[in-house]
């Protein structure tokens, strides 16, 4: 015996018959980081609740979700690719941002058993930027990527007060459709689509996955990018993408995907009413 106290073993959360469930669904789902984020929040709030991943095969989506959503101790869902648009038809109501984007990434069960869904990809980014004292008000944005993430970001930046949003995607029809959606949702914002141009723009946002994989370059050629521009990349990993590295070398202010992750965690926790009575 040395007389030194033994180090305390960290308290493991107890899962019992009264534990409430939150589930993140996707295909695949092994890559998700949300369980670690929200389980920590549940623990901090003293809730007997656990957040778990569920791999939902795309070809069995409807039948699998009917079973999951009928679990009596399920309080919430998080939705990742490729189900964000599909989930809209399975909830009872969609809040305004989800309706504007045309997709949801979170749903909660209400006291009456009904389900409410909303989209937080874009609003999470806006909150993350606000935490860094960056406002979208009056900004002229060049956005690349009209997929799920790009759609949420486009609507959110326009909704947050951007004066102009220009959208580019390799799929021109997808870019055109998103431009029409943003115009309808945010008529005060000037919206167009087409080729990438930095002329007259003060903000560039990458909402494509280009830069995530080793060997990726920048999502588009950066000719015309200026040191006075804000450059945002919503990719979570690596933290410094080829786009951000090039922009930093030029002297631009840059923001990486962590801002969206942090902002979204707060937004979704509020939506789930973590630590608050339902």
What lies within 8 Å, CB to CB, of 174 at 6+ separation is: 146, 147
Examine the residue annotation and report whether 84 is marked as an active-site residue of this protein: yes
Tell me if 149 is assigned to some domain.
Answer: yes
Q: How far apart are the C-alpha atoms of 253 and 245, rounded to whole Å?
A: 11
User: pTM (2 decimals)?
Assistant: 0.83
Indicate the residue among 119, 135, 155 that finishes a domain. 119
- What CATH number is given to the structural domain containing 192? 3.40.50.720
Same domain, 181 and 251: yes
Q: How many CA atoms lie within 13 A of 143 on its CB side?
A: 33
The distance in angstroms from the start CA to the end CA of the chain is 51
User: Do 200 and 227 contact (CB within 8 A), yes or no?
Assistant: no
Range of the domain at 103: 20-119
250 with 145, same domain? yes
Question: Are 78 and 149 contained in the same domain?
Answer: no
Decide if 14 is inside a domain: no
The tally of domains found in the chain comes to 2
In the set 33, 84, 100, 140, the catalytic residue is: 84
* Predicted confidence pLDDT, tens digits, the chain (278 residues): 445 555 444 455 679 999 999 999 999 898 888 898 889 989 999 999 999 999 999 999 999 999 999 999 999 999 988 899 899 999 999 999 999 999 999 999 999 999 999 999 999 999 999 999 999 999 999 999 998 889 999 999 999 999 999 999 999 999 999 999 999 999 999 999 999 999 999 999 999 989 988 999 999 999 999 999 999 999 988 999 999 999 999 999 999 999 998 899 899 999 999 876 54
Domain shared by 94 and 195, yes or no: no
The sign of the dihedral angle between the CA atoms of 221, 144, 195, 142 is negative
Distance, CA of 102 to CA of 241 (rounded, Å): 28
């Amino acid at each position: 015996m040395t007389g030194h106290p033994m180090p305390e073993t960290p308290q493991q959360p107890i899962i019992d018959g009264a534990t409430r469930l939150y589930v993140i669904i996707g295909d695949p789902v092994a890559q998700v980081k949300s369980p670690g984020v929200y389980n920590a929040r549940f623990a901090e709030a003293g809730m007997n609740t656990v957040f778990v991943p569920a791999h939902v095969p795309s070809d069995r989506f409807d039948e699998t979700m009917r079973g999951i959503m009928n679990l009596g101790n399920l309080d919430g869902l998080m939705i990742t690719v490729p189900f964000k648009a599909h989930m809209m038809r399975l909830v009872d109501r969609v809040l305004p941002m989800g309706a504007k984007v045309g997709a949801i990434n979170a749903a909660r069960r209400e006291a009456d058993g009904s389900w409410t869904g909303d989209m937080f990809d874009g609003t999470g980014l806006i909150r993350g930027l606000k935490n860094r004292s960056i406002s979208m008000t009056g900004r002229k944005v060049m956005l690349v990527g009209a997929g799920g993430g790009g759609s949420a970001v486009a609507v959110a930046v326009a909704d947050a007060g951007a004066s102009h949003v220009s959208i580019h995607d390799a799929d021109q029809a997808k870019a055109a459709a998103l431009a029409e959606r943003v115009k309808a949702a945010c008529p005060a914002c000037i919206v167009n689509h087409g080729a990438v141009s930095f002329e007259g723009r003060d903000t560039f946002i990458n909402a494509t996955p280009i830069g995530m994989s080793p060997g990726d370059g920048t999502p588009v050629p950066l000719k015309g990018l200026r040191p006075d521009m804000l450059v945002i990349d919503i990719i979570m990993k690596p933290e410094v993408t080829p786009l951000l590295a090039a922009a930093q070398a030029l002297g631009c202010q840059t923001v990486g995907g962590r801002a969206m992750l942090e902002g979204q965690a707060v937004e979704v926790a509020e939506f789930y009413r973590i630590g608050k009575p339902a």
